[in-house]
Amino acid sequence: MPAAELPVARVAVDIPLAHLDRPFDYLIPQRFAMAAARGCRVRVRFAGQLTDGYLLERTARSEHRGQLAFLQRVVSPEPVLTPEIAGLARAVADRYGGTLADVLRLAIPPRHAAAEAEAQQPGEQSQPVAEWPRLVDPGPWAEYPAGAAFLSAIADGRAPRAAWSALPGKDWAQAVAVAACTAAAAGRGALAVVPDATDLARLDAALTAMTGAGRHVALSADLGPAERYRRWLAALRGTVRVVVGTRAAMFAPVHDLGLVVLWDDGDDLLAERRAPYPHAREVLALRAHRCGAGALFGGFSRTTEMTQLVAAGWARPIRAERAVVRHHAPAIRAAGDDSELARDGAARAARLPSVALRTAREALARGPVLVQVPRRGYLAAIGCARCREPARCAHCGGPLALDRSDAPPRCRWCGRSATGWQCPRCQGTHIRALVTGARRTAEELGRAFPSTVVRTSGGDGRLATVQAGSTLVVATPGAEPAAEGGYAAALLLDAWALLGRADLRAGEEALRRWMNAAALVRRGEAGGVVVVLADAALACVQALIRWDPVTYARRELSERAELGFPPAVRMASVTGSAAAVRQLLQGADLPEGAEILGPVPAGRWQERERVDGDNSGDNGAGPVAVRALVRVPRQAGGQLAHAMRAAQAIRSARKDPERLRIQLDPLELV
């Protein structure tokens, strides 16, 4: 028997098929009349199978003319899908040409019944949120001319949007904490998203030091399902106003959201790896717009996407005066001439020009020295010592690498050992390093500095902090530990490995990684020095030397606008078999003026690879993936997303067996 009041439930069924991306109506049995609340988890029968779903709303009648099935079960009366998150998820799915089901899988964590039972039961009076004290001291924001005005707007309940160029140093976490506390003191919620666990720990510590424990929650995958769900419920039920976390926290159900914060938006960890591949920057910008919340997107560097938002008037820049920047920044030198290696035998052993070696020796007397290496491992790429042809696996064609000096080469794709490797071009049997990893660099530095402790940070062996003292720290980008009192110097090695990548964002990404490392070094007035092994004439190197990422980002945006590359335009990437890609593009109702580029062989380095990503087959047999790009003006981005989703709906309705991957605004274009 249906419920007496509002007996029809509109359910978002957890089916990721594009042609079924819409709500379905079900009848609510009388026994579920009280439990079937808006936003709760339910189980329904769909196509003969029991399937999960979310109850979007209850209505008095259905527009469906046929007979409706009943809800099979209310999994939990907890309203886990708030109206705000439901609307945001729909908007994100529309922007990226995906389905609501895919976005909801990213937005709502799996239920943990024990954690849900431990917390307060729905329907009971919620515990009042502790009052937040109003901060009088603006803290680090005092050094920015527009900082006080930004905090004042947040305190008044307005919605300022800022592109923040942070000063070098560790004050960024304190500045974010001040902004979040200002929003909380005004009675509104704050949400801050950072790229990784290290940044999250710094921000969590800054908030705890400022307001004490229990006033905010930090969400990360390291917590485990029970604790993460418990903290997520605290935000859902409004017992905390401030939420900080990594990428998945961008959908956290913060009540009365007044401020969203994103740190280091250029980090690729902020781009979701699962369909529909949303980026935290776009999701938070969309969320701020829909909620009328303020937005603070900051970093030491500046992405072209943020520069585009500033140019469009969506955000205003927050920058320090040039004199203040020079006061905080370390002294930066460029050493791009490899001929300097011939001047010093120890320099040859450590692959360092003499100026970098002298800088490291002098700095070690004052404190730790950071050495940034682009790649982890031992020898990340090897080649023939005679003809320098890159060494490849005879089985799958993948690149070979060395894990340690006494091990045979190993394929980075299929993992097979290449014992007895012979160059197919010149039949040479000896190898040489093409790309040196962090572990090999640490060995070489240990020989150059025999009396100095050398530590590595990267991959699974990341260091959180480094004690003050004479220590060499070899780290990969993003894994640089903070040093007590700051590093005395930093050496940025193998710049060519970053700048020479076949990537539209190579220069921008190199500058971001360099500035993040240089920001950990003491200011120049305190003796802090950064040496980058790159040609000083390069635009990105000049931006590092002047500590002026904004001018470089503006130049990049101008060049991309002339060439027709994102973010000046919108692009869709279609990857799959040649026949499937061709069929989709021919059947898609693309916007007027759309330009199709390709298809070309897919893969980061344009390598042959399988459609399903498995390169372990015999000699690369099987279907070869290709990739096509569809380019449209920015104003036609919504039409492009709709066309891609409609084309996918046709394929899913036909039950086409071949897989296709569609990405809107992919990070990697070439």
φ, ψ for residue 552, nearest 5 deg: -65, -40
Say if residue 282's pLDDT is above 70: yes
Q: 416 and 514 share a domain?
A: yes
| 148 part of a folded domain | yes
Say if residue 635's pLDDT is above 70: yes
**Final residue of a structural domain among 296, 325, 354:** 325
| 410 part of a folded domain | yes
Encoded amino acid at 331, one letter? A
Per-residue pLDDT, averaged over 474-499, amounts to: 89
For residue 395, give the nearest of 415, 420, 425, 423 by alpha carbon: 415
For residue 198, give the nearest of 487, 490, 479 by alpha carbon: 479
Q: 371 and 311 share a domain?
A: no
pLDDT of residue 639: 96
pLDDT of residue 501: 74
Say if residue 348's pLDDT is above 80: no
| 97 part of a folded domain | no
Q: 307 and 346 share a domain?
A: no
Confidence of residue 417 (pLDDT cuts 50, 70, 90): confident
| 33 part of a folded domain | yes
Confidence of residue 503 (pLDDT cuts 50, 70, 90): confident
**Final residue of a structural domain among 325, 342, 376:** 325
Mean pLDDT estimate for the chain:
87
Q: 396 and 378 share a domain?
A: yes
Confidence of residue 595 (pLDDT cuts 50, 70, 90): very high
pLDDT of residue 493: 86
**Contact in structure between 131 and 235 (CB atoms under 8 Å):** no
Q: 189 and 278 share a domain?
A: yes
Domain of residue 593: give its range: 568-664
Per-residue pLDDT, averaged over 488-511, amounts to: 87
Q: 313 and 441 share a domain?
A: no
Measured CA to CA, the distance from residue 246 to residue 304 in angstroms comes to 22
CATH number at residue 40: 3.40.1440.60
**Contact in structure between 618 and 647 (CB atoms under 8 Å):** no
pLDDT of residue 612: 35
pLDDT of residue 140: 93
Which residues, 6 or more positions from 552, have their beta carbon under 8 angstroms from its beta carbon?
A: 302, 507, 508, 511, 539, 540, 542, 543
pLDDT of residue 153: 96
Q: 496 and 624 share a domain?
A: no
Say if residue 406's pLDDT is above 70: no
Say if residue 380's pLDDT is above 70: no
Confidence of residue 295 (pLDDT cuts 50, 70, 90): very high
pLDDT tens figures, 182-235? 999 999 999 999 999 999 999 999 999 998 888 999 999 888 899 999 999 999
Measured CA to CA, the distance from residue 433 to residue 385 in angstroms comes to 8
SS (H, E, C) 576-634: EEHHHHHHHHHHCCCCCCCEEEEEEECCCCCCCCECCCCCCCHHHCCCEEEEEEEEEEH
Q: 24: which DSSP letter?
A: E
The neighbouring-strand residues paired with 660 are 576
pLDDT tens figures, 217-231? 999 988 889 999 999
Measured CA to CA, the distance from residue 179 to residue 185 in angstroms comes to 10
The domain total for the chain is: 4
**Contact in structure between 487 and 370 (CB atoms under 8 Å):** yes
Measured CA to CA, the distance from residue 279 to residue 294 in angstroms comes to 18
pLDDT of residue 6: 93
pLDDT of residue 619: 38
More confident residue, 605 or 257: 257
Query: Which range among 74-78, 120-124, 290-294 shows the weakest confidence by mean pLDDT?
Result: 120-124
CA distances from 614 to 396, 560, 610, 623, 662 (A): 10, 34, 6, 11, 18
| 100 part of a folded domain | no
Confidence of residue 405 (pLDDT cuts 50, 70, 90): low
pLDDT tens figures, 99-138? 999 999 999 999 998 888 875 544 444 455 567 777 778 8
For residue 513, give the nearest of 530, 527, 528 by alpha carbon: 530
* pTM confidence score: 0.87
Per the document, the length of the chain is: 670
pLDDT of residue 399: 81
**Final residue of a structural domain among 557, 589, 615:** 557
**Contact in structure between 508 and 310 (CB atoms under 8 Å):** no
**Contact in structure between 594 and 370 (CB atoms under 8 Å):** no
pLDDT of residue 414: 76
CATH number at residue 226: 3.40.50.300
| 459 part of a folded domain | yes
Q: 358 and 225 share a domain?
A: no
| 133 part of a folded domain | no
Terminal C-alpha separation, the chain: 59
| 110 part of a folded domain | no
pLDDT of residue 549: 97
Query: In terms of DSSP H, where are the helices of 7-163?
Result: 83-95, 100-107, 113-118, 147-155
Q: 29 and 74 share a domain?
A: yes
CATH number at residue 636: 3.30.70
Per-residue pLDDT, averaged over 568-587, amounts to: 92
pLDDT of residue 134: 77
pLDDT of residue 257: 97
Burial 602-624 (b: 16+ CB within 10 A, else e): bbeeebebbbeeebeeeebebee
Measured CA to CA, the distance from residue 519 to residue 540 in angstroms comes to 16
Q: 257 and 230 share a domain?
A: yes
Instruction: Give DSSP secondary structure letters for 141-201.
Output: GGGSTTHHHHHHHHHTT---EEEEEPPSSSTHHHHHHHHHHHHHHTT-EEEEE-SSHHHHH
pLDDT of residue 454: 87
Per-residue pLDDT, averaged over 560-585, amounts to: 92
Helix axis angle for 304-311 and 280-291, nearest 10°, is: 30
| Helices and strands, number each (H, E), in the chain | 19, 28
pLDDT of residue 211: 86
Q: 354 and 334 share a domain?
A: yes
pLDDT of residue 439: 65
pLDDT of residue 356: 81
Which residues, 6 or more positions from 273, have their beta carbon under 8 angstroms from its beta carbon?
A: none
Say if residue 265's pLDDT is above 70: yes
Query: Which range among 107-111, 303-307, 318-322, 474-478 shows the weakest confidence by mean pLDDT?
Result: 474-478
Measured CA to CA, the distance from residue 120 to residue 402 in angstroms comes to 54
pLDDT of residue 183: 96
pLDDT of residue 430: 80
Q: 377 and 454 share a domain?
A: yes
